[in-house]
């Protein structure tokens, strides 16, 4: 038990001291630390359009690299953070933002996953409600007792074989 605690604490200490390097290549890093910090902050808010669940800083995709370079070029040209973001979203749309603005065009991005989850939960609830209702009603039609006509026909089939 103690060995696991020591291992866990060692991993925790080592992990807390490390910083994520991401996919930014040394050739992309700006010489001005203030501009590089701004570029990193902007990049953390931009989605890789290839990977979709990674920031452009974390992605090794070619398009992510192009976007990182574009962000740095715009910053070196003197654009503000807002101007850089506006430039990128004008070219690639709001989907490139990890947190797109809430507006008519992005409602599907914001509420689509929740709506799909609710529809799935509703379908499951309906399925189980119908199943429970069928079980409480006595099951399917095969479980009902035979009528007198059906009993006579069955008797006839059993006596005569295939000829009723």
Total-model pTM: 0.55
Domain ranges within the chain, ordered by starting residue: 17-101, 109-160
Residue 114, pLDDT > 70, answer: yes
pLDDT in tens, 146-156: 899 999 999 99
Tokens 């035979």 -> residue:
146
CA 5 → CA 2, 17, 20, 109, 148, distances in Å?
A: 5, 18, 25, 42, 75
Highest average pLDDT, of 7-11, 28-32, 65-69, 132-136, comes from: 65-69
Confidence of residue 51 (pLDDT cuts 50, 70, 90): confident
**CATH class of the 17-101 domain in this structure:** mainly alpha
d(CA 164, CA 156): 6
pLDDT in tens, 94-109: 889 988 888 888 888 7
d(CA 162, CA 164): 6
């Amino acid at each position: 038990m103690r060995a696991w605690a020591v291992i866990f604490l060692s991993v925790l200490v080592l992990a807390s001291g490390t910083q994520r390097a991401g996919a930014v290549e040394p050739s992309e890093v700006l010489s001005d630390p203030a501009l590089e910090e701004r570029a990193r902050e902007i990049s953390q808010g931009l989605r890789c359009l290839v990977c979709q669940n990674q920031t452009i800083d974390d992605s090794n995709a070619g398009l992510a690299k192009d976007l990182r370079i574009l962000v740095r070029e715009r910053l070196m040209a003197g654009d503000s953070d807002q101007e850089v973001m506006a430039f990128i979203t004008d070219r690639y749309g709001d989907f490139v933002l990890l947190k797109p603005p809430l507006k008519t065009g992005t409602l599907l991005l914001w509420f689509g996953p929740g709506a799909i989850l609710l529809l799935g939960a509703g379908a499951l609830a309906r399925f189980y409600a119908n199943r429970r209702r069928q079980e409480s009603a006595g099951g399917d039609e095969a479980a009902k007792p035979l009528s007198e006509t059906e009993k006579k026909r069955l008797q006839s089939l059993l006596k005569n074989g295939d000829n009723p």
